[in-house]
């Protein structure tokens, strides 16, 4: 029997969904469900993951159910609380961190019309520069003091009011991450990228992550018992 992957294996696409850091008004989309295919490439090794996502903007809860390979159910909320439930073992673990918060989730950014700055202003970033090249709008953002150790600046590129590229520069002014948003689809009254590709540069190496979203359903079409899922009372805590 093959060993089941540990939880850290499944946290990778969850982290991709968070802190990615134009609509001009909040979306009327409350509930959203969709499928996700995630592929990670590092040192010649490819890891493929498939999952189902269920998000409610009114509650701020995102449920991620990993289906291939079978994995845990992960539930996050706006307070950064992470619940990891293993159906097979009926076990549950809890943790909390700002990086888990759905307030920094890419899905929320697009549904709530926060794509003009990808939530950077709310995190204390200041607009340094705005310039125009062909049909592109390029903005550069300076971090707040408590993030000086992480970022030198962040660059956003928009085309037709939609973000298509983001670049993250570390405290040493080196390019640390690139993110590309493409293949937009109209969902309700907003546009959501169905393809997100991320390049992370670490120690003379790179990690490439790509997510593809499909079968997107919203509001009354988004019907699933997973929106009402609760961890069983008899689940054993890890």
Q: What is the pLDDT of residues 17-27, one digit of tens each?
A: 443 323 333 45
What rounded mean pLDDT belongs to the chain? 83
Q: What pLDDT sits at residue 12? A: 47
Q: What pLDDT sits at residue 153? A: 94
Specify the CATH number for the domain of residue 45: 2.50.20.10
Q: Does residue 2 lie in a domain region? A: no
Q: Does residue 159 lie in a domain region? A: yes
Q: What pLDDT sits at residue 114? A: 66
Write the pLDDT tens digit of every residue in 96-154: 887 777 666 666 666 666 678 887 887 789 999 999 999 999 999 999 998 888 889 99
pTM: 0.79
Q: Does residue 1 lie in a domain region? A: no
Better pLDDT: 12 or 164: 164
Q: Does residue 162 lie in a domain region? A: yes
Distance CA 54, CA 67 (A): 13
| Cα 161–Cα 188–Cα 125 angle in degrees, nearest 5 | 40
Write the pLDDT tens digit of every residue in 38-79: 999 988 899 999 999 998 888 888 999 999 999 999 998 888
Long-range contacts, 140-146 (Cβ 8 Å, 24+): 141/117
Q: Does residue 107 lie in a domain region? A: yes
Q: What pLDDT sits at residue 113? A: 64
- In angstroms, how far is CA 100 from the centroid of its own chain? 10
Distance CA 183, CA 199 (A): 18
Q: How many domains does the chain have?
A: 1
- Is residue 181 helix, strand or coil? strand
Give the residue numbers spanning the domain of 136: 7-237
What share of the chain in percent tops pLDDT 70?
A: 83
């Amino acid at each position: 029997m093959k060993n089941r992957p540990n939880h850290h294996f499944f946290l990778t696409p969850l982290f991709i969904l968070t802190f990615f850091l134009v609509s001009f008004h909040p979306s009327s989309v409350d509930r959203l469900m969709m499928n996700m295919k995630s592929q990670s490439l590092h040192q010649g090794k490819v890891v493929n993951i498939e999952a189902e996502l269920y998000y409610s903007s009114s509650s701020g809860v995102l449920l991620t159910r990993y289906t291939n390979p079978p994995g845990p159910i992960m539930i996050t909320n706006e307070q950064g609380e992470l619940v990891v439930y293993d159906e097979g073992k009926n076990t549950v673990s809890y943790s909390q961190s700002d990086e888990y918060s759905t307030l920094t989730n890419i899905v929320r950014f697009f549904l709530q019309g926060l794509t003009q700055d990808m939530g950077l202003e709310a995190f204390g970033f200041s607009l340094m520069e705005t310039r125009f090249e062909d049909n592109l709008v390029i903005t550069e953002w300076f971090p707040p003091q408590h993030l000086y150790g992480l970022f030198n600046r962040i660059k956003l590129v928009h085309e037709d009011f939609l973000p298509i590229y983001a670049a993250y520069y570390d405290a040493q002014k080196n390019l640390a991450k690139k993110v590309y948003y493409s293949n937009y689809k109209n969902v309700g009254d907003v546009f959501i990228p169905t393809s997100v590709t991320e390049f992370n540069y670490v120690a003379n190496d790179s990690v490439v992550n790509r997510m593809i979203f499909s079968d997107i359903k919203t509001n009354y079409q988004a019907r699933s018992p997973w929106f009402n899922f609760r961890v069983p009372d008899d689940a054993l805590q890890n």
